[in-house]
Structure 1
């Protein structure tokens, strides 16, 4: 079952180039996902009342270009299936009939009291027409690098938290991109994002963001007390207006 909404990119969504921030893009996709589920047993409200929550474990993003301020885009989402461990969901961003962004994502259900993963329930999955999969989607395998040349510490604030009582997944992107120089970010645009989340980050914790830029790829690690919380690889290209 596919669900979609129109959305106009706002100034508050964008960086100084007028391009939507990655964090805001992910938040917009989370909005349409929640809207699709809001009248089912899988909605954030219903899950929260059962002391459960959806937690993303991986994104694979293919980006033709990110939308600009003022553009009216279509945000699309659909569940692609589940197995006994994970639920899979795709997202698309379209502009004037053209697909600008495609995201594959992998999710688990978290017991919010025990902080443990619980298996998907067939009745729950049926409530939003998510089929049982015979074969699992293949997402990229990302590995922690031996070393990173840039390191910075961040503190988890109340404003970073979501309904699952841990740092919301979109905020990781802000801390990762903050490791790159302003000039580089203004002169380059994203072509892909692969990110895997492994351990949740909680209120009041101090975490370390690390980064290394190698050619057209930046490598990122968020860790807490030496334990990896998220690793990512971002692909980049020179902005067209910078090439002229």
Structure 2
């Protein structure tokens, strides 16, 4: 990794020591904690570039994460020092693109990610077109992955498990809907511990499709695509609305 690129304001770096409360049973970083790391560094950088949470709120706008793809070489361990890099990659249609890279202390890249964000109007909750010059999006030729985060195919066959839960107060974020990382946590938990002991996460791709609210009664469905592939569909029971769809590939 050439850290000289970090001199440009279009890149942002955050050094982290993996905390005990962010690890799993095997002392590795939880995938849902990883999503929290990504979300936090994205907020930090957007604020520095002056299109963060409070900048947009002045225009009655707010960010929502729509799609994410993450490819994992390995997950860092407890107390390991890692470096997170993030940078925007410009606009694609309604989406603002942002990538992520995580490096270990030897400078080896261990995790790569790409995300697609929308800006919603706070009044009608509809996305706006990203043509406001005040947003000052940077366009970087660098990219973490060879592909952008894409639509996860709806394949509802080979259902192998169903869980139900109710959205709690602690699941709600500052936009008054379910925190993005919660969906990943719920999907992760539908797999038993024995499965996680025998399988290592290689790729996770997520589509956030609709807002979950406090007291929503949710159904979490696990589907088997192949020996090493699964999808998880998270739906609201009341109106059968799908809130989130997640693809997992294991090694």
| TM superposition score normalised by structure 2 | 0.86
**Separation in 1 of the partners of 2:60 and 2:79?**
39
2:210 corresponds to which of 186, 191, 199: 199
Q: CA deviation at 1:5?
A: 1.1
Structure 1 runs, 4 residues or longer, greater than 6 Å off? none
1:62 corresponds to which of 71, 77, 80: 71
Q: CA deviation at 1:117?
A: 1.2
Contact residue 99 and residue 113 of structure 2 kept, 8 A? yes
What secondary structure, in the 3-state scheme, does the structure 1 residue paired with 2:211 have?
A: coil
* Structure 2 residue 224 is matched with structure 1 residue 215: no
What secondary structure, in the 3-state scheme, does the structure 1 residue paired with 2:191 have?
A: coil
Contact residue 73 and residue 110 of structure 2 kept, 8 A? yes
Q: CA deviation at 1:37?
A: 2.0
**Separation in 2 of the partners of 1:122 and 1:113?**
18
Residue 160 of structure 1 is matched in structure 2 by: 171
Contact residue 63 and residue 101 of structure 1 kept, 8 A? yes
* Structure 2 residue 82 is matched with structure 1 residue 82: no
What secondary structure, in the 3-state scheme, does the structure 2 residue paired with 1:145 have?
A: coil
Range 184-193 or range 61-70, more displaced = 184-193
Residue 244 of structure 2 is matched in structure 1 by: 230
What secondary structure, in the 3-state scheme, does the structure 2 residue paired with 1:118 have?
A: coil
RMSD: 1.8
Q: CA deviation at 1:124?
A: 3.5
Residue 155 of structure 2 is matched in structure 1 by: 145
**Separation in 2 of the partners of 1:64 and 1:41?**
33
| Structure 1 gaps, min length 5 | 132-136, 238-244
Alignment of 1:2-17 (within 5 A): 2-17=11-26
Contact residue 83 and residue 120 of structure 1 kept, 8 A? no
Residue 180 of structure 1 is matched in structure 2 by: 191
Contact residue 32 and residue 77 of structure 1 kept, 8 A? yes
Contact residue 206 and residue 246 of structure 2 kept, 8 A? yes
Alignment of 1:63-142 (within 5 A): 63-95=72-104, 96-126=106-136, 128-130=137-139, 138-142=148-152
**Separation in 2 of the partners of 1:16 and 1:72?**
19
Range 159-168 or range 4-13, more displaced = 159-168
| Structure 2 gaps, min length 5 | 1-9, 141-146
Q: CA deviation at 1:83?
A: 3.6
- Against the structure 1 CA distance between its residues 140 and 119, is the aligned structure 2 distance closer, same or farther, given a 3 Å change threshold? closer
Contact residue 57 and residue 198 of structure 1 kept, 8 A? yes
| TM superposition score normalised by structure 1 | 0.89
- Against the structure 1 CA distance between its residues 231 and 14, is the aligned structure 2 distance closer, same or farther, given a 3 Å change threshold? same
Q: CA deviation at 1:130?
A: 4.3
**Separation in 2 of the partners of 1:203 and 1:93?**
33
Range 4-13 or range 224-233, more displaced = 224-233
Q: CA deviation at 1:8?
A: 0.3
Contact residue 156 and residue 223 of structure 2 kept, 8 A? no
**Separation in 1 of the partners of 2:206 and 2:94?**
19
Q: CA deviation at 1:138?
A: 4.5
Aligned residues: 232
Contact residue 112 and residue 164 of structure 1 kept, 8 A? no
Q: CA deviation at 1:145?
A: 1.8
Contact residue 7 and residue 73 of structure 1 kept, 8 A? yes
